[in-house]
Amino acid sequence: MPLSVPFADPAANEFLASLESRSGRPNHFFRTMAHRPEVLKSFVPLYGAIMGPGVVERRTKELVYLTCSFANQCAYCLSAHLASGRKAGVTEDEMTAIREARNEGFSPSEQAAISYARELTRSANGQTSGDGLPAHFSAEQIVEITLIAAMANFTNRFNNGLGVMPE
């Protein structure tokens, strides 16, 4: 059973309050991380730099995040990224395929990114081949895909470790 910590109070944390006022709703992830305000303040721009506009298209970013989150069974990240995945054009059938660890139905570049994200998630010791990536992605894109998978695994472990559930 995961640990559970109470949520930080937005009234006692100006940065948390400003994040929630922009979204218009409570955010359990931020309220949990706000117990370390300096970490939350650093996390938000880092997440934005990784998941925001970059050299990897939005759909591929969401496929990578979903791959990690399904592998780690992170309810919080799945709740968020199923919605953003849909907005990026990921279909229900594709989400089912990722959940079932199947790669068919995706483009060759998407298959390479999904396979790599799955390997990286299952093998934190660096024993990943990533063989298919160089045929489809530049060095800059491979670094970005790795950052996305690393971010997903970070948030998955944070949420699963502390029992953070979707709002």
For residues 102 and 29, state if they share a domain.
Answer: no
Residue 59 near residue 88, CB atoms below 8 Å: yes
Q: What is the pLDDT of residue 5?
A: 87
Counting other chains too, the contacts that 37-42 makes at CB distance below 8 Å and 24 or more residues apart are 37/13, 40/13, 40/15, 40/16, 41/15
Pair (94, 158) in one structural domain: yes
Distance of alpha carbon 13 from alpha carbon 153, whole angstroms: 26
**What is the Cα–Cα distance from 146 to 89, expressed in whole angstroms?**
21
Domain membership of residue 2 (yes or no) is no
Residue 127 has pLDDT above 70, yes or no: no
Per-residue pLDDT, averaged over 63-85, amounts to 97
In angstroms, the Cα distances linking 92 to 85, 87, 142, 143, 155 are 10, 12, 26, 28, 23
Task: Kindly report the pTM of this predicted structure.
Answer: 0.94
Q: Assign residue 99 the CATH number of its domain.
A: 1.20.1290.10
Are 43 and 75 members of one domain? no
DSSP state of 89: T
The mean of the pLDDT values for the chain is 94
Range of the domain at 47: 10-51
